[in-house]
Amino acid sequence: MNVYSIAYYLFFVYTVFMAYDGFTVAAVAAELREKLNGGYLAKIIQPEKDALLLTFKTKDGQKRLLISASASLPLIYLTETNRKAPLQAPVFCMLLRKYIGGARLLSVEQPGLERVLILTFERRDEMGDLRTWKLTAEIMGKHSNLILADRENRIVDAIKRIPVSVSSVREVLPGRTWFIPNTASKEDPLSLSAGDLQKTVCTKAMPLFKAVYTSLTGFSPVMAEELCFRARVDGGSPANTLAPGEADRLERVLFSMMKELRELRFSPVMILRGKTPVEFSSFMLTQYKDLTAVPFASVSELIEAYYTEKETSVRIRQRSADLRHIVQTILDRDVRTLTLQEKQMQDTEKKEKYRLFGELLHTYGYTIPPGSAKAEVDNYYTNEKTLIPLDPLLSPQQNAEKYYARYTKLKRTAEALQGRMQDMREEIRHLESIAESLETAADDRDLSQIRQELADCGYVRQNRSSGKKQQSGKAEPLHYRSTDGFDIYVGKNNYQNEEVSFRIASGNDWWFHAKNMPGSHVIVKAEGKEIPDRVFEEAGRLAAYYSSGRLAPKVEIDYTLRRNLKKPAKARPGFVIYYTNYSLMAEPDITGIERVPS
């Protein structure tokens, strides 16, 4: 993983944990009460090991609720997107179907401003008696969980069982009592009275915004900064140095925000820097005056829009962890080997000096006295004196032969190293292209193709069972359509690059690729027509986006007619050469380019 990937991943993890705060959970709770209360739970599937998709039948039709307890992506929101159920339902899914399948949703509660939602269901048991069950979604980062309990909060089971060996604060096991551990000793801002804020927040020797989110439940750093901004107080100043007037303003704004919350006056909004999402909230964020605020009709639509792409990215990243480790390990080894080879090649540069010494000793050896430790002779190539170290135990002729032997050995070493270094550079370039393919992989079929390539090239053993699974669906290149109606194809890995360039494309189609960096082959199907400049610009943007330079402001793109491409014999997958090309600079931004569903 390169530095840009690491920075992106850390930024993503930060926004997942910080943006989905108690205010967002409150907005989701309000939306669920409005749209799901009284509805019947018609279907329960567990598409991932830590996620549920609940389908409700309501008076307004069918509604789907996605709940994820993933440590890296805990979420809960309404969605219209269906998920595929596994062939065999997991144990927790079967348990839910037994206890709450077909049950009626009575209520949705959020304790205080905690990142916790309690869905209370009612259904008749085998004896015909009405029973109440509580499905609790804890949206708490790595501590996220989904827990089924009875009306007395006695746990039936959880999607993640937590024994005492894992947590001494709270066991999550069948038969234990469910409760919210107050490990952070935070106060509920909904229950604060006048003067409480100054006691809980304004006595801490830390930045004010940090004192807010570490003292009050529900607050993320972003909402804490929003509170400070609305109160016209510097969030970075120490909390215990606030003037009395500043503390009063902070308290008034806090109570105003709590009033908005109680009255359910939510304003779901996504903040964009250019076209890149940087933050979201269920309340209007007034602190981002220089950025673009995009409103949403509902908090679920906002969450789905913000996280759908990131969720896929995280899931694929988790599933490709073994492949990333394999590629990075081999890549690191190859880079070390190439560095050693380059050092050895530098050592062979002495060979011409040894050849010259041998030649001069053959020429002037008769003038050198026996037993000499050195000889200074005329270099007839430069007309300068050359000092030659000698072994006094050897004759000048024997010294000459010794230098010739050194020259011959270094020459053979240099010739062998040259071939090995070329092979090593090609292998490094190939591995870098595979690493980039892992960044653009969209689903398990893409990962299967990459794994197959690694097996075909001898990096991993062939997995016979995975080969059978791959037969069920082949990963296809991405298909886009330009503004002017031209079809554009993008390979997501080396095998797809081969398909795009040598099977989908014909000789008069146009080929695009980021210059001197790993990336996708992009083909524009000309279909015998003249291609407008705008299509070249859009294809260049796609080639820039699907390359290792996607985080750069602009990327240089090579483009040429497909007929100018050549694939050398025995070349690695996805490797082509060309000698005629044009160049353009493109932004790695594909906004507005139509994606054609596969």
User: Who's near 145: CB < 8 A, 6+ residues apart?
Assistant: 69, 136, 138, 158, 159, 160, 162, 172
Comparing CA positions, the residue from 474, 179, 155, 450 lying closest to residue 320 is: 450
Comparing CA positions, the residue from 245, 219, 224 lying closest to residue 236 is: 224
pLDDT given for residue 14 in this prediction: 42
pLDDT, tens digit (0-9, with 9 covering 90-100), for 553-594: 999 999 999 999 999 988 889 999 999 999 999 999 898 899
pLDDT given for residue 466 in this prediction: 47
pLDDT, tens digit (0-9, with 9 covering 90-100), for 4-49: 343 334 334 444 444 689 999 999 999 999 999 999 999 999 999 9
Average pLDDT over residues 86-115: 94
As a whole number of angstroms, the distance between CA 546 and CA 540 comes to 10
As a whole number of angstroms, the distance between CA 581 and CA 511 comes to 10
pLDDT, tens digit (0-9, with 9 covering 90-100), for 102-134: 999 999 999 989 999 999 999 998 888 899 999
Answer for the pair 522, 511: CB distance below 8 angstroms, yes or no: yes
Q: Please say if the pLDDT value at position 539 is more than 70.
A: yes
pLDDT given for residue 189 in this prediction: 93
Q: Please say if the pLDDT value at position 372 is more than 60.
A: yes
Q: Which residue has the higher pLDDT, 467 or 247?
A: 247
Tell me the pLDDT of the chain averaged across its residues.
Answer: 89
Residue 341 in 3-state DSSP? Answer: helix
As a whole number of angstroms, the distance between CA 351 and CA 115 comes to 71
Q: Please say if the pLDDT value at position 314 is more than 90.
A: no
pLDDT, tens digit (0-9, with 9 covering 90-100), for 432-444: 999 998 888 878 8
H/E/C letters for each residue in 203-270?
Answer: CCCCEHHHHHHHHECCCCHHHHHHHHHHCCCCCCCEHHHCCHHHHHHHHHHHHHHHHHHHCCCCCCEE
- CB atoms near residue 124 (< 10 Å): 11
pLDDT, tens digit (0-9, with 9 covering 90-100), for 171-211: 999 999 999 877 567 899 999 998 888 889 998 999 999 99
H helices within 285-395, ranges in order? Answer: 299-319, 321-347, 351-364
Share of the chain above pLDDT 90, in %: 69
As a whole number of angstroms, the distance between CA 129 and CA 89 comes to 27
Answer for the pair 174, 163: CB distance below 8 angstroms, yes or no: no
Residue 154 in 3-state DSSP? Answer: strand
Share of the chain above pLDDT 70, in %: 93
Residue 474 in 3-state DSSP? Answer: coil
User: Who's near 57: CB < 8 A, 6+ residues apart?
Assistant: 39, 40, 42
As a whole number of angstroms, the distance between CA 395 and CA 368 comes to 9
As a whole number of angstroms, the distance between CA 44 and CA 186 comes to 35
Q: Please say if the pLDDT value at position 459 is more than 60.
A: yes
Please name the residue that has the structure tokens 């292209």. Answer: 433
H helices within 382-477, ranges in order? Answer: 396-440, 444-456, 464-470
As a whole number of angstroms, the distance between CA 234 and CA 216 comes to 18
pLDDT given for residue 428 in this prediction: 93
pLDDT given for residue 470 in this prediction: 45
- Find the largest Cα–Cα distance for the chain: 119
Query: Edge-to-edge strand order for the sheet containing 130-138?
Result: 74-79, 61-69, 51-58, 40-48, 104-109, 116-124, 130-138, 145-150, 155-158
If pLDDT is split at 50, 70 and 90, which confidence band does 482 have? very high
Q: How buried is 177 (Cβ within 10 angstroms: 0-12 exposed, 13-18 middle, 19+ buried)? A: exposed
Average pLDDT over residues 312-337: 86
pLDDT given for residue 225 in this prediction: 94
As a whole number of angstroms, the distance between CA 16 and CA 220 comes to 11
H/E/C letters for each residue in 15-41?
Answer: HHHHHCCHHHHHHHHHHHHHHHCCCEE
Average pLDDT over residues 413-434: 92
Average pLDDT over residues 233-249: 91
Q: What is the DSSP letter of 86?
A: P
pLDDT given for residue 312 in this prediction: 65
